[in-house]
Amino acid sequence: MNILLELKNVTIPTLDQKCVIVNNVSFEVREGSIHAVIGPNGSGKSTLAYTIMGLNSYRISQGKIYFDGIDITNMSLTERAKLGITLAWQEPARIDGLTVFKYITLGIKDKSNLQEKVKEALRTVNLEPERYYNRIIDETLSGGERKRVELAAAIAMRPKLIILDEPDSGLDMIVIEDFLNIFNKIKALNMTILLITHREDIGMVADYGTLLWRGDAILTDEFPIVMVKYCAKAGLKEFCKRALFKNGGKCFDDEYIDRIFREEGLL
């Protein structure tokens, strides 16, 4: 698989430049994969996501970001979106007066057959087009519905890379299961996903992962390997042995888990 996104020694300071949120981080995201960035709250995951997207308030002080072989470090948010990067937000905005239809069409470059394209995007996220077309993206949509519309808008753009920022936040378990299926549908449409999450059950759909710990990228590897390291860093050995890597995920024997925990000085 080709490398779609590459971060090289990226450091992101706070706006006042007094603290470092993400420190000298490097990793690669392969085209067509689901790549999870995991880590506990405050480890810099969302900061990293917004920086890759190019939000004005998130600027790197050092390092380079390459997308599809192009140096995008100094590109604006709009330029990056036009290149094929988009972001589905953790808490998408509620905008009075803007219909679901209009919202989804905003990012579609080819404006022919808009209705069909919107319908297809809504079906991909398991929303009935006829019921949602003319709804307004305000408080009348539930949290789960709004997140699905956000995903539909991202999918309709047909980007090369979708950054999903904590897509599970505020959702119940039944809905999360459905979201995992949607991620696989997106992957089947040849889009790459950068999945920002702190939950192992969400991350289990990922092919690869990067563990972010207090602003440092500790490990990038196949996702289960990264997850064991995450549990070891968090001191969750029993949880790791008991709860992880079931349901078709990659399993590890106790000896492997013990070794990783030993490296962390936890045995």
Partner 1 sequence: MRRNEYPQEILQSLEDYSIDIKDFIPGHGGGAKLLLNFNKIAGVDQVEGIILKGREIPNGIVADIIIKEGTKHEEPVHLCFGVNKETGVQEIFPRIIAEDNTSVKVQAHCSFPKANGLIHKMFGHFYIGKNCNFNYSETHYHGENSGALVAPVGYMYIGENSVFENNFNLTQGTPGKVKIMIDIYAMQNSIIRSNIKAYGKSKKDSIRIRDSVFLEGENARSVIKMKAVARNGGEVLMYGVTEGNAPHCNGHVECSEIVLGKGSICRARPFIRAIDPTSSISHEASLGRFPQKWLDELMAKGLTEDEATEILIEAMLKE
Chain contacts with partner 1 (rule: CB under 8 A)? 53, 55-57, 77-78, 81-82, 86-87, 89, 92-93, 95-98, 102, 106-107, 109, 153, 157
C-alpha angle 235-45-80 in degrees, rounded to nearest 5: 160
96/255 with CB nearer partner 1: 96
> CB of 194 within 8 A of CB of 186?
no
163/240 with CB nearer partner 1: 163
87/257 with CB nearer partner 1: 87
Q: How far apart are CA 5 and CA 65, in angstroms?
A: 7
- State the minimum distance, in angstroms, from the CB of residue 29 to partner 1: 18
- State the minimum distance, in angstroms, from the CB of residue 245 to partner 1: 34
Smallest Cα–Cα separation from 200: which of 148, 245, 151, 255?
Answer: 245
Q: How far apart are CA 179 and CA 161, in angstroms?
A: 17
- State the minimum distance, in angstroms, from the CB of residue 197 to partner 1: 19
Smallest Cα–Cα separation from 190: which of 216, 161, 165, 224?
Answer: 161
138/263 with CB nearer partner 1: 138
- State the minimum distance, in angstroms, from the CB of residue 109 to partner 1: 7
Per the listing, tokens 């599809």 go with 68
